[in-house]
Structure 1
Amino acid sequence: MMRNRVVAAMRAHLSAHDFVEVETAALQVSPGNETHLHAFSTQIVAPDGSLAPLHLHTSPEFACKKLLAAGETRLFTLARVFRNGERSALHHPEFTMLEWYRAEAGYTVLMEDCAALLAEAAHAAGTRHLEFRGRRSDPFAPFERLTLAEAFSRYADIDLLATMDRDGATDRAAMAEAVAGAGLRVAPDDTWSDLFGRVLVATIEPHLGIGRPTVLHAYPASEAALARRSPDDPRVAERFELYACGVELANGFGELTDPAEQRRRFEGEMAEKARLYGRTYPIDEDFLAALALMPEASGIALGLDRLVMLLAGAPRIEDVVWTPVAMGVP
């Protein structure tokens, strides 16, 4: 019942601020082109009996950006999304994503949206705090804002920007030395990205969103495949994540609208996916064509199930999902 009240409150808030609710198809030519996201895949049968591959989307992002290119200026969707191989206290193979987009708006406006929506959700839930495994966060408090460079320095004593060139190229050797110095494991086949993620998960995330929500922003450009670079520092991108109780709740971007650059990034991601997992997903050519027409915009995805879980103080995401996905028969 709390989940229903939260959904109704978020819908009402966005609609009151002139956002149009849209519904996007779950079946897509490409489920997304990020290295570590794995899709559920199927085949569509044409009237002549021929088969073609399709995938359940890992996010409605591509479809929403096509709608921005078609002329929508403020839109949101409550989409069921699907990610294979993900199941834990914080992950479920099918979950609900609240995504919203603003044309002609900077990505810092999304941080203000998040503050308003968290307060609305808490009012609807009838609670004054978010909670997970003994950690609490005040959804009504002003957000802490912390850059990745500040977080690495504060919690791991690592100079993150020193492991990147001025153009954003990463220095694996410098990162490995810094990570080893911080007392974390370094494997011979670890990439710069592997090491970055290890520090983030092990030493930074547990400190985020404690007492009040944290906006972690200015991500390294190499860790923001769909975000544009910062005009102030090409080493970082206009990407942020929202945390509460040490749990990531949302991921926002100043959207990349250069189709050639986006293709280059997707190809790099898929090359790494092929190296690690032996498979790739196609690139959505319609999406790249739409980017050429899309206005400057910002967009964000918020995990609805995680937010409700924290509002309810539940220990697992499945506690706030009406019908959890069965594990299947061995």
Structure 2
Amino acid sequence: MNQQFQTGRWWSPEAVAARLPNLRRRAAVRNAIWCFFEEAGFTEVETPALQVSPGLEPHLAAFETVMLPPGRGGGPSLRRYLHTSPEFSMKKLLAGGMEKIWQLCPVFRNAEGAGTHQPEFRMIEWYRAGEGYRVLMQDCIDLLRACAPKGSPYRFRGRESDPHAYWQVITVDEAFKYYCGIDLPATREASAAGTMPGADGLRGEAEHIGVRTADGDTWDDVFFRIFAEKIEPELGHPAPTILTDYPVHMAALSRPKPEDPSLAERFEVYVCGLELANAFGELTDADEQRRRFEADMDLKEDLYGERYPVDEDFLDAVAQMPPASGIALGFDRLVMLACGADDIKDVLWAPVDQES
């Protein structure tokens, strides 16, 4: 990318011309996605970005705003947030009787940057009422094949991934054993169901394979450090990888697996070492959902000194939702992979300006 773009002049003729091939490819990917969902019988929906609650993942930071009363009259001003995902609104539509829905929309995550992140980006999200989460795995295979003609592999930072080849499907526990020699279930044995394990066992395993740890690390901290250093770079090439069956405490919106309640009906898709999508068999127990939200907000408050409100209307909808599965896929990252771009700004018409 030329220097003018790097210093913030994304609108200069030279910078626009440099991105134009990628932007044309972006449009082609968008069209392929629309055709995929149209042919699969999904209904495209549109939900508002302004929400009571932005989403309650403890490590995501939201954009907060104030909604003034109509006409700036005498009513109260209301605190609102830009959504980090359209998930809450889309699940309300499932409770309202919709069955197969999708949308491509902007989402907002504060404190995000670097080569694969932007504070505002585009996400594809889709849901299937009455279908298990494994059906979404086939959706991902079919969608990624639809967006990349045969002979045109996805590329990212020196790696290639052919979506038309046989995909790797591996559990989280299998990945830790195969790539690191770590018996991950053994590090969770002493923990109560649905709670984060103590860190000592996994910390010892990390140090044994040369992954640094620090005083105060949680089990999750050590998990993600091992994963980022030893496992993630190996996933998604020479074909995409589906990484499935996360520990249940790491999937706040997911059902436990009936055959093993210590694990969640959750999977992620990796292409060329890059995380692309995150899927769940959706939780429909409103009481359990509230408990998990409160636990996540307690953690957020401990880590960052803040908490977000729970959307009570969403919990009412959860209690009325049918069994369902849902997934979020990063559209900009998919375009990056289709173009072989190393930086997300290379595939955006206009980035969020963080220079001034």
Q: Same fold (TM over 0.5)?
A: yes
1:229 equivalent among 241, 256, 262? 256
Do structure 1's residue 15 and structure 2's residue 42 form an aligned pair? no
Distance 1:122 1:107 in 2: 24
Q: Check whether the contact 1:309–1:316 (CA below 8 A) recurs between aligned residues.
A: yes
1:179 pairs, out of 206, 211, 228, with: 206
Q: Does 1:53 align with 2:76?
A: no
Q: Report the counterpart of residue 105 of structure 1 in structure 2.
A: 131
Amino acid at match of 1:187: A
Question: Helix, strand or coil for the counterpart of 1:234?
Answer: strand
Quote the Cα distance in structure 2 between the aligned partners of 1:300 and 1:118. 14
Can you list the C-alpha shifts for 1:21-49, whole angstroms capped at 9, x where unaligned? Answer: 00010000000111101111100001334
Match of 1:62 in 2: 88
**1:38-74 alpha-carbon deviations (Å, 9 max, x no partner):** 1111000013342111000000000100000000000
TM-score (norm 1): 0.97
For the residue of structure 2 that corresponds to 1:235, the secondary structure is strand
Matched residue, 2:159 = 135
2:307 maps to amino acid: T
Q: In 1, distance between residues paired with 2:90 and 2:229?
A: 33
Q: What are the within-5 Å matches in structure 2 for residues 1-330 of structure 1?
A: 1-47=24-70, 48-49=73-74, 50-123=76-149, 128-165=152-189, 167-169=193-195, 170-329=197-356
Q: Say if 2:198 and 2:218, in contact at 8 Å, map to a contact too.
A: no
| Aligned-partner residue type, residue 163 of structure 2 | P
Q: How big is the alpha-carbon RMSD for the aligned residues of Structure 1 and Structure 2? A: 1.2
Partner of 2:8: none
Shift of 1:168: 4.7
Runs (5+) with no aligned partner, structure 1:
none
SS of the residue 1:38 aligns to: coil
Partners of 1:316 and 1:13 lie apart in 2 by: 26
Partner Cα distance (2:134, 2:128) in 1: 11
> How many angstroms apart in 2 are the aligned matches of 1:119 and 1:184?
36
CA apart distance, 1:136: 0.6
In 1, the alpha carbon distance for the partners of 2:355 and 2:80 equals 22
Find the residue that maps to 1:301 and give its secondary structure: strand
Aligned counterparts of 1:181 and 1:225: Cα–Cα separation in 2: 30
Task: State the identity %.
Answer: 52
Q: CA deviation at 1:142?
A: 2.1
Q: Is the 8 A contact 1:158 1:182 kept in 2?
A: no
CA distance in 2, matches of 1:298, 1:143: 21
Structure 2 stretches lacking a partner, 5+ long? 1-23
Q: 1:55 to 1:328 in 2, by over 3 A?
A: farther
Match of 2:19 in 1: none
**Aligned-partner Cα distance in 2 for 1:209–1:316:** 18
Aligned length: 327
- The structural deviation recorded for 1:167 is 3.0
Between Structure 1 and Structure 2, whose CA radius of gyration is higher?
A: 2
Aligned partner of 2:16 in structure 1 is: none
Post-superposition offset of 1:190: 0.6
Residue 8 (structure 1) shift? 1.0
Structure 1 Cα separation of the partners of residues 247 and 208 of structure 2: 21
The runs of at least 4 aligned residues of structure 1 exceeding 6 Å deviation read none
Cα distance in 1, alignment partners of residues 255 and 115 from structure 2: 32
Amino acid of the residue matched to residue 25 of structure 2? M
